[in-house]
């Protein structure tokens, strides 16, 4: 199970990979879990990017949040 810091880092890799510390502990965990990999740029620098497994985790998280939002909306309409 990922910590909230690791999930935040995963989202940051998706949206702003240049801002992610390549050697940070959260990034190391994500690399170990094969959710993130380091891409070697033409400049010689490395940049984190999501693997297909990392993208799948974010898609499932989004789907879960969307379903929970639908339940909350239903409760608001029924007065619960």
Q: Which two tokens stand for residue 18?
A: 């240049």
Phi, psi of 37, rounded to the nearest 5 degrees = -130, 160
Q: What's residue 63's pLDDT? A: 92
Separation between Cα atoms, residue 71 and residue 32, nearest integer Å: 35
Q: Which of 7-11, 18-22, 27-31, 67-71 is the least confident region?
A: 67-71
> Can you point out the beta strands (E) in the chain?
36-40, 46-50
Contact 9, 30 (CB under 8 A): yes
User: Domains of the chain by range and CATH?
Assistant: 4-71 (1.10.10)
Question: How do the residues of the chain divide into helix, strand and coil, expressed in percent and rounded to 5?
Answer: 60, 10, 25
Percent of the chain with pLDDT over 70: 85
Please report which confidence band the pLDDT of residue 77 belongs to, taking 50, 70 and 90 as the band edges: low
């Amino acid at each position: 199970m990922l910590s909230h810091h690791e999930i935040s880092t995963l989202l940051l890799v998706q949206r702003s990979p240049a801002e992610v510390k390549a050697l940070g502990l959260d990034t190391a965990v994500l690399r170990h879990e094969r959710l993130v990999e380091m891409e070697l740029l033409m400049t010689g620098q490395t940049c984190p990017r999501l693997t297909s497994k990392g993208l799948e985790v974010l898609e499932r998280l989004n789907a879960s949040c969307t379903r929970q939002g639908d339940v909350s909306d239903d409760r608001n309409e029924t007065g619960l």
